[in-house]
Amino acid sequence: MLSRVHLPAAVAPLAVERLHSLVENRTVYALEGFELNVFETHRAAARVPLRLEGLALTTMMRGRKVMHLPGRAAFDYLPGESVVVDKDELMEIDFPDASLGQPTQCLAVAIAPDTIRHTVDLLNERYPKAEAQQPWAITAPDYAHLTNTPELTDTLGRLVAVSRASDVNKDVLAGFTLQELLVRLMQTQARQLIFHDYARYLTSHRFAAVVGYIKEHLAENLSIDKLSALACMSKATFFRVFKREFGLTPVEFIIRERLSEAKRLLRHPLASVAEVGLRVGFNNLSYFQALFKKHEGLTPGAYKKQLAA
């Protein structure tokens, strides 16, 4: 295991005799404000067309697809990833590896426009983002193909569970969970925008400068005093708004960046675990090892051995 893939709780594939089709068999759970679809494909196919009503968050659960979306190059779609699809956008999908023994499976949550508008308006009115010219929104063809965060995955898993349950109150419970899902989706898009493409926004988004500073000074003591000053905010405001916008605290972001860099450095055959820990800002080896195992599921030493295997 060289990386953690974040997947919602599994939905068991249907038995073959229950399938209506071997290609993109569709099971629908219709609730107030959204529709949850489970798509399964049990044989190889190419250029299968699909449209969904309403903006949709799709998440890959099993297998591999190749996605063809308007205006962009085809790309592999893998478990642990999501794709945001605009209303009525035509998808054409290849299933190069699907078979009866190894089906592909994908979830798609198609969301009514009024449901999205209500959540977005509420956030912009009560919990504005750091930059007023960049309000909350679910947008962006450039940021439609996402790596799932643990928070997005957890919320999607709970939405799937409540949608498939027989609880008489499930529309109410699903409504609250859907609202959280929309927030988590926007936070995930914001992370991809600023965390991975911060250089484009250094002059237009205060958190881009903070992210750039963190990435360039991982081995140093990164104090909230210093980071909040870079953002031109008080410490309390900086901490609160950063977490609201990205779904994790500045300290959690620093830890994740340090661990990501540690994984990169551990690939060097001559680098020791202790040396790598120091180079990414962990002065306590035991703390580094414990954090690494908590986030990656194995110790830095075991990770390095897997790389060498």
- CATH code for 199-309? 1.10.10.60
Per-residue pLDDT at 6 = 58
Instruction: Specify the DSSP element, H or E, that contains 43.
Output: none
| HSE toward the beta carbon, residue 209, CA cutoff 13 A | 15
For residue range 138-191, what is the model confidence (pLDDT) as tens digits?
A: 865 555 899 999 999 999 999 999 999 988 899 999 999 999 999 999 999 999
Per-residue pLDDT at 7 = 58
Per-residue pLDDT at 9 = 58
Helix (H, G, I), strand (E, B) or coil at 5: coil
pTM, two decimals, is 0.87
Residue 116: pLDDT over 80:
yes
For residue range 238-281, what is the model confidence (pLDDT) as tens digits?
A: 999 999 999 999 999 999 999 999 999 999 999 999 999 999 99
Class level of CATH domain 16-196: mainly beta
221: left (phi over 0), alpha (psi -120 to 50) or beta: beta
For residue range 28-72, what is the model confidence (pLDDT) as tens digits?
A: 999 999 999 999 999 999 999 999 988 999 999 999 999 999 888
Residue 5: pLDDT over 60:
no
Q: Is the dihedral of CA 182, 118, 56, 27 positive or negative?
A: positive
Nearest residue to 258 (alpha-carbon basis) of 241, 277, 235: 277
The amino acid at 118 = H
DSSP assignment of 74-131 equals -EEE-TTEEEEE-TTPPEEEEESS--SSS-EEEEEEEE-HHHHHHHHHHHHHHS--SS
For residue range 72-85, what is the model confidence (pLDDT) as tens digits?
A: 899 999 999 999 99
The structural domains of the chain, with segments of one domain joined by +, span: 16-196, 199-309
Q: How far apart are CA 58 and CA 65, in angstroms?
A: 12
Q: How far apart are CA 206 and CA 219, in angstroms?
A: 22
